[in-house]
């Protein structure tokens, strides 16, 4: 499928349920890939236009074996403002991630997960976030039209931030953390599907003698127009109570678009 999206604000929340499929069949690949390109200008004065160039790539891929599933989720967004070679007022913002997850014994009510991720968000100052961990996944409800899961595990997270404060430079965080999530996917009727996931991650930082907590969520509503076209609207957000550097603690994104299914 190809997803064409208009984005009102930038945030990146990983929805690991996007590429999962609950089917009895096995030994097959499934997935989607989206690529968006936009270029436009807006006047900021008679001889001072603002030029915008944006590239976005998003893909979900999964291999479903008889006993296990393997997910690879990737996202990258690049935004260049005032890219005119005659001006030096260029502003570049890029963010993205690559996440790989294995679900062992996927059809059991209690299954096991291994995961690793690399992420960056240059607009906020996040040079690199790398993590790896393992956990348990429990099926609270698994019906034909509704799936409800919870997950809990441990991970080690490394973060490298560029501080906006003068003189602070690069700040490093290297913490073990607990990671938890609850997810739901429901088919309300033949035309409407909902997907949602909420994360809670926490770890104790000796540098501040306190817990650093992160809550994030992603919700999508999909309206099936026909066998080929669907309309998708979504909201995702992240809140960090004690960010490593002084940045906005709450960030969000609202998306709307048309999805073409193949």
d(CA 70, CA 35): 23
Residue position matching structure tokens 């609207």: 233
Domains of the chain (ranges plus CATH)?
2-260 (2.40.128)
* Parallel/antiparallel/unpaired status of strands 146-162 and 170-187: antiparallel
pLDDT single digits (tens) 39-96 = 767 665 556 667 778 888 878 888 989 899 999 989 888 888 775 555 555 767 788 9
Measure Cα distances from 87 to 7, 81, 122, 149 in Å: 27, 11, 21, 51
Tens digits of residue pLDDT in 104-159? 999 999 999 999 999 998 888 899 999 999 999 999 999 888 999 999 999 999 99
Residue 150, SS3?
A: strand
Exposure string over 53-68, b if 16+ CB within 10 A, otherwise e: bbebebbbbbbbeeeb
Whole-angstrom distance between the N-terminal and C-terminal Cα of the chain? 5
**Residue 240, pLDDT score:** 94
pLDDT computed for residue 135 by the predictor: 97
* Closest of 98, 132, 94 to residue 16, by C-alpha: 98
């Amino acid at each position: 499928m190809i997803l064409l999206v208009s984005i009102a604000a930038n945030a990146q929340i990983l929805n690991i349920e996007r590429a999962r499929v609950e089917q009895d069949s096995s030994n097959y690949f499934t997935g989607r890939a989206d690529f968006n390109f936009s270029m436009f200008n807006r006047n900021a004065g008679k001889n001072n236009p603002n030029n915008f160039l944006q590239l976005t790539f998003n893909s979900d891929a999964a291999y479903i074996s008889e006993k296990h599933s393997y997910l690879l989720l990737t996202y990258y967004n690049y935004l260049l403002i005032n890219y005119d070679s005659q001006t030096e007022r260029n502003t570049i913002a890029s963010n993205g991630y690559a996440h790989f997850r294995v679900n062992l014994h996927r059809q059991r009510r209690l299954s096991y997960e291994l995961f690793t991720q690399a992420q960056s968000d240059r607009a906020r100052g996040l040079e690199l976030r790398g993590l790896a961990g393992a956990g348990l996944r429990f099926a609270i409800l698994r019906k034909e039209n509704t799936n409800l899961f919870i997950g809990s595990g441990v991970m080690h997270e490394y973060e490298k931030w560029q501080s906006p404060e003068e003189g602070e430079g690069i700040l490093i965080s290297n913490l073990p953390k607990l990671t938890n999530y609850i997810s739901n996917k429901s088919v309300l009727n033949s035309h409407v599907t909902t997907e949602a996931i909420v994360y809670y991650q926490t770890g104790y930082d000796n540098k501040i003698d306190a817990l650093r907590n992160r809550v994030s969520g992603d919700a999508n509503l999909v309206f099936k127009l026909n066998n080929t076209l669907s309309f998708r609207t979504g909201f995702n957000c992240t809140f960090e109570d004690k960010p490593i550097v002084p940045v906005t603690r709450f960030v969000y994104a609202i998306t709307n678009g048309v999805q073409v299914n193949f």
